[in-house]
Amino acid sequence: MYQFIARRLLSTIPVLAIVAVLVFLLLRLTPGDPAAILAGDAASPDQIAQIRVGLGLDKPIIVQFGIWASHVLRADLGESFYFKIKVTELIAQRLEPTLALSTLTILIAVLVAVPLGVIAAWRFGGWFDRALMGFSVLGFSIPVFVLAYILIWIVSLKLGWLPVQGYRRIADGFWPFLRHLILPSITLSVIYIALIARVTRASVVEALGEDYIRTARAKGLPESRVLIAHALANAAVPIVTVIGIGVALLIGGVVVTESVYAIPGLGRLTVDAVLARDFPTIQGVILFFSLVYVVVNLLVDLSYVFLDPRIRY
C-alpha cells in the first residue's frame, strides 16, 4: 500500500504541472490587461506601460512562466497584483469560510442522500422511488444561483429565519457561525444530494438482487440489518467513489454560492481575482483547488481497502 501511495503522490506532480501550464497560458492569451485595470480609466499609455514593467508583464510569456514556476517550486505563489500581499497568505486568510462551507455541505449531502437512496432502492418502483428520481432530475436542472435566490427570498426575506448574506467566523460564536452557513450549505448540497442519492439507489438495487441478500433474508435477519449491513455495505465502493468525484462539483458550486451569499472564501476570491485580472491569485487558487481534488481522490482510493477486503494495493 505504501508503494501505491507513493506512486499516487508522485503522479500528482505531472497533473499539477499540466494544470499550471494551461492556466498560465489561458490567462495570458485571453483579452484583458491587469495593468490597465490597476491604472484606472484616466491612466495614460505611458503609465500603463510602467505598471506592466513593474508587474513583469512586459517580458515574453516563456520568461514569465519560468519565473513563476521557479517560485512555485519554492512554495511561493507570488504576490497578488490587486491585493498586494502574498497569494499563500491570501489563501490562508480565505480558507476557513470555504472549508466550513464545504464540510457542512458534504455532511448534509451524505446524511440526507444515502438514507434516501437506500429507502428508494428498498421500495424500488414505488412512489418514493419515483419521487426521488424526480428530485434528482430537478436537483441537476436548477442552477445553484437560482436556487440560492429562491431560498433567500423564502427563508430569509419572507420567514426571517436565517441571515440573507455574510459570514461569521467560528471564533465569534458557534451559533452565529452556523446560522450564516446553513442556507449556503443547503443551497450547495442539493445537486450533491441528487448525485449521491441516485448512485446510492442504483448500487443498492443491484446489491439487493445478489444471492447473499436472499441468504440473509432466508436466515430471518431483520430487514434493516439486511439493508445496512449487507446491501449498503457491499454498495459502498461506488457511493464513496461518486462522493470523491462530486468534489469537482463542490468546488465549482463554492464559487457561485460564496458570491451570492457574500461569503469571503476562496470562491469569492476567485471571482474577485478574475474581475481584476489578478494572474498570481487566479493561478494560485486553481492550483490549490487542483491539489485538494487530487488528494481527496487519493483518500477515496485508499478507502476501498477498508470498504472491500478483496481490494489490495
* Closest by CA position to 139, among listed 101, 70, 190: 190
Residue 92 CB contacts under 8 Å (≥ 6 apart), including other chains:
none
**Helix, strand or coil for residue 79?**
strand
| Mean residue pLDDT across the chain | 87
- State yes or no: pLDDT of 312 exceeds 80: no
Q: Which residue has the cell 476557513?
A: 96
The whole-number average pLDDT for the span 265-284 is 90
Q: What's the CA gap between 54 and 31, in Å, rounded?
A: 20
Give the pLDDT confidence score for residue 197 in this predicted structure: 92
- State yes or no: pLDDT of 297 exceeds 80: yes
* Closest by CA position to 32, among listed 283, 279, 284: 279
The whole-number average pLDDT for the span 287-291 is 90
DSSP code for 161: -
- State yes or no: pLDDT of 133 exceeds 80: yes
What is the reported pTM? 0.87
pLDDT tens for each residue of 199-215: 999 999 988 888 888 88
Q: What's the CA gap between 132 and 143, in Å, rounded?
A: 19
**Helix, strand or coil for residue 86?**
strand
Q: Tell how far CA 1 is from the center of its chain.
A: 27
> What residues are paired with 79 via a beta bridge?
86
281 grid coordinates: 491569485
pLDDT tens for each residue of 200-254: 999 999 888 888 888 888 888 888 888 888 888 888 888 898 888 888 778 888 9
pLDDT tens for each residue of 115-127: 999 999 988 888 9
Measured over the CA atoms of residue 85, residue 251, residue 286 and residue 81, the dihedral's sign is: negative
User: Is pLDDT larger for residue 32 or for residue 191?
Assistant: 191
109 burial type by CB count under 10 A (0-12 exposed, 13-18 middle, 19+ buried): buried
* Least confident piece of the model among 37-51, 78-92, 150-164, 253-267: 37-51
b/e for 37-60, b at 16 or more Cβ within 10 A?
bbbeeebeeeebeebbeebebeee
CB 6 within 8 A of CB 273: no
pLDDT category of residue 112 using cuts at 50, 70 and 90: very high
Q: What's the CA gap between 263 and 260, in Å, rounded?
A: 8
Give the pLDDT confidence score for residue 266 in this predicted structure: 93
**Helix, strand or coil for residue 169?**
coil
202 burial type by CB count under 10 A (0-12 exposed, 13-18 middle, 19+ buried): middle
Q: What's the CA gap between 100 and 188, in Å, rounded?
A: 12
Q: What's the CA gap between 70 and 88, in Å, rounded?
A: 15
**Helix, strand or coil for residue 210?**
coil
List of domains in the chain: 2-72 (no CATH), 90-307 (1.10.3720.10)
